[in-house]
């Protein structure tokens, strides 16, 4: 055979057998997911819906409101296991850890109470009756207050020192997620039954404005991008992520979203947004882009709608209720890169 033909044939065979060469950036795009499932922490014999979570940075522990189980799980994140369970609750929904008094606050939807537990041994140290449907809990570190949404329309202000309710901020309907806008000294409150967002003065609780939501309904999760001063709201009807100016409520962007969203968090380190949806997905958005384009849709489990992002640990925790294919657990995601 002609030697030139031999060389050509050899080169052709090498091209067929050898894998294609990719650049480092292409390889990283293919091999590195945006959220890496790092662990699954079992919750034990927990049935039914799981609601919100909170974090104790002193002990590196996560609190999980097991709503239909009427219990609160205490998860040691270093050991990655449940180390304590607080039973006897009545549909726990919201949870908050207040560091100055080392106290865990648990809002109960069933009897409208907020129950207080000492962080060291989880002994009950108080109970505040709000009357009905105690829900989301927020800690205001500047004012040293605990805020709890409840009832047919109100946010209760609790003093951690006296363990008593010291004020009420009235609202026209039941509040869902609400956030403290420290830049503009206001509280933003989702009012899905009124198809609106209420804007309250952060100190007095007096109404400052109402932003009507005409194009979408069922506005449940909310988050604040403190760096940009923008308010992010997740709608369920239809599934949509909407972004507003925190100064005047002017619309900034709107994009499609997975169904049945219930929690949302901003990853300031990566300028991303994480949304957990009961449809069975985590949606990840790029907050750097003006259109908040979606970076990834990560499959989870249907009904896994609540999550909690801890920036100091750089981890996203997802509460997964028991199903035929999965036991109840907290899934631990590590963002990348």
pLDDT, residue 42, reads: 98
Asked if 91 and 39 sit in the same domain, the reply is no
pLDDT, residue 94, reads: 98
- Number of residues written out for the chain: 337
Q: Listing from the earlier edge strand, what are the strands of the sheet with 154-159? A: 137-140, 145-150, 154-159, 164-170
Residue among 25, 32, 13, 7 nearest 334 (CA):
32
Give the Cα separation of 98 and 104 in Å (integer). 6
Residue among 192, 154, 156, 199 nearest 176 (CA):
192
**Strand 230-237 relative to strand 186-191, pairing:** unpaired
Kindly state whether residue 21 falls inside one of the protein's structural domains.
Answer: no
pLDDT, residue 248, reads: 92
**Strand 71-76 relative to strand 61-66, pairing:** antiparallel
Kindly state whether residue 62 falls inside one of the protein's structural domains.
Answer: yes
Asked if 42 and 87 sit in the same domain, the reply is no
Contact 157, 166 (CB under 8 A): yes
Asked if 40 and 101 sit in the same domain, the reply is no
Kindly state whether residue 213 falls inside one of the protein's structural domains.
Answer: no
Degrees to nearest 5, angle at CA 47 with 41 and 51? 70
Kindly state whether residue 6 falls inside one of the protein's structural domains.
Answer: no
Dihedral pair phi/psi, residue 104, rounded to 5°? -100, 125
Asked if 39 and 54 sit in the same domain, the reply is no
Residue among 224, 296, 219 nearest 262 (CA):
219
Give the Cα separation of 304 and 281 in Å (integer). 8
State what percent of residues in the chain have pLDDT above 70.
91
pLDDT, residue 260, reads: 98
Give the Cα separation of 44 and 28 in Å (integer). 37
What lies within 8 Å, CB to CB, of 250 at 6+ separation is 244
Count of the separate structural domains present in the chain:
2
Q: What is the DSSP letter of 20?
A: P
Asked if 230 and 257 sit in the same domain, the reply is yes
Kindly state whether residue 271 falls inside one of the protein's structural domains.
Answer: yes
CATH number, domain containing residue 244: 2.130.10.10
Give the Cα separation of 208 and 186 in Å (integer). 8
Torsion sign across C-alpha atoms 75, 79, 80, 81: negative
Kindly state whether residue 194 falls inside one of the protein's structural domains.
Answer: no
Q: Domain range for residue 292?
A: 34-46+218-337
* Residue segments in the chain with a per-residue pLDDT below the cut of 70: 1-32
Contact 181, 213 (CB under 8 A): no
Q: How far are the Cα atoms of 36, 141, 175, 328 from residue 115, in angstroms, in the given order?
A: 35, 19, 19, 24
């Amino acid at each position: 055979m002609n030697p030139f033909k031999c060389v050509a044939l050899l080169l052709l065979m090498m091209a067929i057998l050898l894998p294609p060469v990719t650049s480092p950036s292409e390889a990283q795009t293919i091999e590195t997911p945006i959220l890496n499932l790092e662990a699954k922490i079992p919750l034990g014999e927990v049935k039914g819906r799981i609601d919100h979570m909170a974090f104790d940075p002193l002990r590196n522990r996560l609190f999980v409101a097991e709503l239909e189980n009427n219990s609160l799980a205490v998860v040691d994140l270093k050991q990655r296991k449940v180390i304590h369970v607080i039973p006897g609750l009545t549909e726990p929904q919201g949870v908050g850890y207040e560091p100055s008094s080392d106290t865990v606050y648990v809002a109960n939807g069933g009897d409208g109470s907020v129950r207080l537990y000492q962080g060291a041994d989880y002994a009950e140290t108080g109970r505040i009756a709000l009357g009905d449907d105690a829900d989301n809990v927020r800690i205001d570190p500047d004012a040293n207050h605990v805020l709890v949404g409840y009832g047919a329309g109100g946010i209760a202000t609790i003093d951690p020192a006296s363990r008593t309710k010291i004020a009420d901020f009235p609202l026209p309907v039941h509040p869902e997620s609400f956030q403290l806008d420290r830049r503009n000294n206001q509280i933003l409150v989702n009012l899905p039954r009124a198809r609106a967002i209420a804007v309250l003065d952060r100190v007095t609780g007096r109404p400052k404005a109402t932003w009507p939501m005409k194009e979408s309904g069922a506005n449940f999760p909310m988050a604040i991008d403190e760096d940009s001063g923008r308010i992010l709201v997740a709608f369920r009807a239809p599934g949509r992520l909407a972004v507003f100016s925190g100064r005047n409520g002017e619309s900034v962007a709107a994009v499609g979203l997975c169904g049945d969203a219930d929690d949302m968090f901003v990853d300031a380190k990566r300028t991303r947004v994480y949304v957990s949806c009961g449809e069975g997905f985590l949606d990840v958005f790029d907050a750097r882009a003006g259109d908040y384009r979606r970076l990834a849709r990560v499959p989870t489990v249907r009904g896994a709608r609540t999550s909690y992002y801890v920036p100091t640990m750089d981890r996203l925790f997802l509460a997964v209720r028991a199903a035929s294919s999965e036991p109840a657990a907290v899934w631990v995601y590590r963002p990348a890169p």
